[in-house]
Amino acid sequence: MKDGQSQATRRAPRGSARARLIAAARDLVRRKGFAATSVDELCAAAGVTKGAFFHHFASKEGLGVALIEDWTETTGAMFAAHPYNAAADPFDRLIAYIELRRTLLSMPLPEFTCVAGTTVQEVFDTSAAMREAARNSLASGAGHVRAHLEAALAAHPVPGVTAESLARQFQVAVQGGIILAKAENDARPAREALDHLERYLRLLFGR
Amino acid sequence: MKDGQSQATRRAPRGSARARLIAAARDLVRRKGFAATSVDELCAAAGVTKGAFFHHFASKEGLGVALIEDWTETTGAMFAAHPYNAAADPFDRLIAYIELRRTLLSMPLPEFTCVAGTTVQEVFDTSAAMREAARNSLASGAGHVRAHLEAALAAHPVPGVTAESLARQFQVAVQGGIILAKAENDARPAREALDHLERYLRLLFGR
DNA sequence: AAGACAATACCAACCAGTCGGTATGTCAAT
DNA sequence: ATTGACATACCGACTGGTTGGTATTGTCTT
């Protein structure tokens, strides 16, 4: 009788408020940026009240840090689990990684924007905590390809090129591509950035 | 007697309010982002009242559009006037352009961030007018190198590579480098992004 | 019973934008 | 060379609504 069902659809199950807030933040921050997203908006989107918000996060900035940390884990798990890691040749794994990033670009624009890259642009000078979380996130993202790059460079050294720096260039191509895609309102420039990255790699490794 | 001097230092000369507001916006928006910069803050920084603000701009968004358009003109004039255009060989001009961008990176971080690239990240989905201004700004920036690229490609064609797309990759390297620099709070990753771009160019053109 | 979790009401500060008014400059007719 | 009509540039108090954050109370789970 107690209309438990409508209650359940209307209100999220207890204990999920934190996760729901982070999910809502991921959506809204990608579309509108961090500063332009208000706490009230976040609560409404998550189906949660303000009391719940400030129970789980000390401040809006706290939510921002948690959002980026969650992003680091989520994307990290996704890349780690992906079959692109299976290829025997490290160079093939790099090409497969780029191909994987290409397929991600077929999603709608707000859904392939990088949470860390977007927010750090806004807050790098106003929130040290969020900047540090973003730095860690981008470094972690570069870490996924660095291992493959080290193996590839061991088999085919390139003078003046380190795995560390080349891994960062992957991030540069991805982040820069996203900016151009946003400006053009079209994923194509981001896809072309990956094409150039792949061509660069092939030239470096003589493939 | 009439303390005309203190009057002059206390208040900007008539007619300069618009330019002062744009200059203040360039500073503040680079450091804090567009959404986090309030109109009051802008007015205070420009030494101007709110009445003056809304006399010159219909809205905060209007100031945003004017800011990006001004940025397009300013940077365009700067690159056009620079001696890097002097080299006879188009390839040398491209290398000189990259070198010019490298020297820009010796400034403090907020001063080498691209106004168009930063703001479009925030407002690409919430302000069509600003996104369009940013698109135009980035396209204009790519246009500066496209001419040199066309000449270089005419002398040394590279299959599958157009001047248009390669010019955009210059923007990708610059914008992506800025994001990493912000995250690391250090210009070095941006400089390395230019190094990789230069190496890519040399490989493409066999230099 | 006790603590974790969440709902509601509330607050001072701040937000973008408005509006009636004034200062300054322009130009044509006197 | 004055005058006066008009436009531009600017001023700053004000408004309705929103902001991030708090205080208090209630309700689940163990």
pLDDT, position A61: 94
- Does residue A125 sit at the B interface (CB-CB below 8 Å)? yes
- Residue B115 CA to its chain's centroid (Å): 5
pLDDT, tens digit, for every residue of B104-158?
999 999 999 999 999 999 999 999 999 999 999 999 999 999 999 999 999 999 9
pLDDT for the residue A15 = 66
A59 touches strand D (CB under 7 A): yes
Residue B4's pLDDT is 31
> Does the pLDDT value for residue A192 go beyond 50?
yes
Q: Which of B158, B174, B180 to mutate to test binding with chain A, by most A CBs within 10 Å of its CB? A: B180
Contacts of A151-158 spanning 24+ positions with Cβ under 8 A = A151/A90, A152/A90, A152/A91, A152/A94, A152/A205, A155/A90, A155/A91, A156/A91, A156/A205, A156/A206, A158/A204, A158/A205
On average, the pLDDT of chain A sits at 91
Q: Is B99 helix (H, G, I), strand (E, B) or coil?
A: helix
Q: Do A182 and B118 touch (CB under 8 A)?
A: no
Q: How many angstroms separate the CA atoms of B33 and A126, rounded?
A: 10
Buried b (16+ CB within 10 A) or exposed e, A74-92: ebeeebeeeebeeeeebbe
Compute, in degrees rounded to 10, the torsion defined by CA atoms A86, A87, A92, A96.
-30
Is residue B52 within 8 A of residue B17, CB to CB? The reply is: yes
CA A97, distance to chain mean position in Å, is 15
Q: Are A172 and B166 within 8 A, CB to CB? A: no
User: B196, A200: Cβ pair inside 8 Å?
Assistant: yes
Q: How far apart are CA A90 and CA A29, in angstroms?
A: 35
Note whether A196 contacts B172, CB cutoff 8 Å: yes
Predicted pLDDT at A84: 85
Chain A contact present for B123, CB below 8 A: yes
How many percent of chain B have pLDDT more than 70? 95
- pLDDT tens for A76-101 read 999 999 988 889 999 999 999 999 99
Supply A72's token pair.
Answer: 């680091």
In chain B, the residue whose alpha carbon lies closest to the alpha carbon of A198 is: B200
Mean pLDDT in chain B?
92
**Residue A33 clears pLDDT 90, i.e. is over it:** yes
Minimal Cα–Cα distance from B98 to chain A, Å? 16
DSSP 8-state class, residue A13: P
Residue A189 pLDDT: 98
What's residue A13's pLDDT?
Answer: 66
Q: Is pLDDT at B7 greater than 60 in this prediction?
A: no
Sorting pLDDT into bands at 50, 70 and 90, what band is B17?
Answer: confident
Residues of A in contact with B72 (CB under 8 A): none
- SS3 state of residue B35: coil
Task: Assess A60–B contact: CB distance below 8 Å, yes or no.
Answer: no
Model confidence at B6: pLDDT above 80: no
Comparing C-alpha atoms, which of B65, B113, B127, B138 is closest to residue A179?
Answer: B138
Mean pLDDT of B3-32: 73
Higher pLDDT, A47 or B133: B133
Instruction: Cite the DSSP H helix spans in chain A.
Output: 4-10, 17-32, 39-46, 50-56, 60-81, 90-104, 109-112, 115-123, 128-155, 163-184, 188-205
The pLDDT of residue B1: 31
Res. A4 pLDDT band, cuts 50 70 90: very low
A72 Cβ under 8 Å from any chain B Cβ: no
Which of B10, B22, B2, B17 lies closest to B115 in space, CA to CA? B22
Per-residue burial over A175-194, b if 16 or more Cβ lie within 10 Å, else e, is bbbbbbbbbbeebebbebbb
Q: How large is the angle between the packed helices A90-104 and A188-205, nearest 10 degrees?
A: 170
Q: How many angstroms separate the CA of residue A4 from the nearest CA in chain B?
A: 38
**pLDDT computed for residue A96 by the predictor:** 96
pLDDT of residue A179: 98
Confidence category of residue A9, pLDDT binned at 50, 70, 90: very low
Q: Which pLDDT tens digit goes with each residue over A100-154?
A: 999 999 999 999 999 999 999 999 999 999 999 999 999 999 999 999 999 999 9
Share of chain A above pLDDT 90, in %: 84
**Domains, chain B, ranges and CATH?**
1-57 (1.10.10), 68-205 (1.10.357.10)
CB B204 within 8 A of CB A201: no
Looking at residue A129, what is its pLDDT? Answer: 96
Cα B60 versus chain centre, distance: 20
State the Cα–Cα distance between residues A129 and A110, nearest whole angstrom: 24
Shortest alpha-carbon distance between residue A113 and chain B (Å)? 9
Interface of B with A in 168-187 (CB under 8 A): 168-169, 171-177, 179-180, 182-185
B56 touches strand D (CB under 7 A): yes
Q: Distance, in angstroms, between B15 CA and closest chain A CA?
A: 32
Residue A163: name the closest of A86, A75, A90, A76 by CA. A90
Q: Residues 17-56 of A near strand D (Cβ < 7 Å)?
A: 37-41, 50-51, 54
Task: Name the percent of chain B lying above pLDDT 90.
Answer: 89
For position A133, what pLDDT does the model report?
A: 98
Q: Which of B27, B31, B111, B121 to mutate to test the interface with A (most CBs of A within 10 A)?
A: B121
- Span A8-32, average pLDDT: 79
**pLDDT over threshold 70, residue B55:** yes
What is the rounded CA–CA span in Å between residue A159 and residue A204? 10
C1' of D29 to CA of A13 (Å):
13
Structure confidence by residue, pLDDT tens digits, B65-81: 999 999 999 999 999 99
Measured CA to CA, the distance from residue B150 to residue B162 in angstroms comes to 8
Segment 132-161 of chain A within 8 Å of chain B by CB: 134-135, 138, 160-161
DSSP state of A106: T
Task: State how far the Cα of A99 lies from the Cα of A207, in Å rounded to an integer.
Answer: 16
